[in-house]
Amino acid sequence: MSEALAVIHTRVARETIASARALILDVDGTLAETEEVHRRAFNEAFAESGLDWFWDQVTYARLLRVAGGKERIRAFDQRNPIPSLSFAEIAELHRIKTARYAALIAAGGCPLRPGVRAFLGNARRRGQRLAIATTTSHGNIDALLSVALGLDWADLFETIVAGDDVPRKKPAPDVYLEVLARLGLAPADCIAVEDSGNGFAAASQAGIPAIITRSAYFGDDDFAGAFLVVDDLSGIDD
Ligand code: XBP
Ligand code: MG
């Protein structure tokens, strides 16, 4: 792209972001690079439960195509002809994992990605409405953002829709459609901020233009048709 075209592209991007009625943000991979903490929490839960499972980064990168921790555990268990865990055992294993995730975040935190804090502050200064649309749980959102943004983090967001609030997780559009319904806005009035192919598909199926901020586990996903693809949110709307 020529420099002149890049300047125009950047200006259009800034104007489009500034004119959106609402900005709807994903959490894992978008606000913070949390998936390595999730992966560690899964492995600690497996060990605590006496399972000889261990998800290395290559295995986890493949399993991340399955949205949702409980669904991810089930997908891994079903690699065997005779799965070993019942639904109740998967739910209990995921509860342990979620507790480990919260403990890991509380112990070491997981910093916001570059540009996220400024992006949220700019939106607030413009008087734009902010929402969250994520696959993870409310508990995990609170664990992450109460450290990263402070205990009053929820005051920033008008509505928060998590994975278990809707019938289907990403790439289904359910979380985004629920956010739109709660905000009373049309898709074209909003912009979604995502990091993964599943998240981009969910926002796109809901008709919402998406900004992609490439993350560690999804850098190679196909984001053709995204409004904007960036390495991170630094300077995107300054
Ligand atoms: C990412 C996910 C989640 C997390 C793990 O969510 O797919 O499943 O990997 O969290 P998003 P849970 O990018 O939509 O924020 O174990 O709570 O599912
Ligand atoms: Mg994500």
One pLDDT digit (tens) per residue for the chain, 238 residues: 666 666 666 788 899 999 999 999 999 999 999 999 999 999 999 999 999 999 999 999 999 999 999 999 999 999 988 889 999 999 999 999 999 999 999 998 799 999 999 999 999 999 999 999 999 999 999 999 999 999 999 999 999 999 999 999 999 999 999 999 999 999 999 999 999 999 999 999 999 999 999 999 998 899 999 999 999 999 888 7
CA pair distance 8, 14, nearest whole angstrom: 10
| pLDDT (0 to 100) of residue 1 | 62
| pLDDT (0 to 100) of residue 6 | 62
∠ CA(98), CA(99), CA(103), 5° rounding? Answer: 115
Ligand nearest to the CA of 212: 2
| pLDDT (0 to 100) of residue 7 | 63
CA pair distance 87, 214, nearest whole angstrom: 33
| pLDDT (0 to 100) of residue 16 | 93
| pLDDT (0 to 100) of residue 3 | 65
| pLDDT (0 to 100) of residue 117 | 97
For the Cβ of 198 lying below 6 angstroms from any atom of ligand 1, the answer is: no
CA pair distance 167, 163, nearest whole angstrom: 8
b/e per residue 58-70 (b: at least 16 CB within 10 A)? eebbebbebbbbb
Ligand 1 atom, smallest distance to 140 CA:
17
State phi, psi for 213 to the nearest 5 degrees: -110, 105
**Dihedral of alpha carbons 83, 64, 88, 100, sign:** positive
Q: pTM of the prediction?
A: 0.95
For the Cβ of 215 lying below 6 angstroms from any atom of ligand 1, the answer is: no
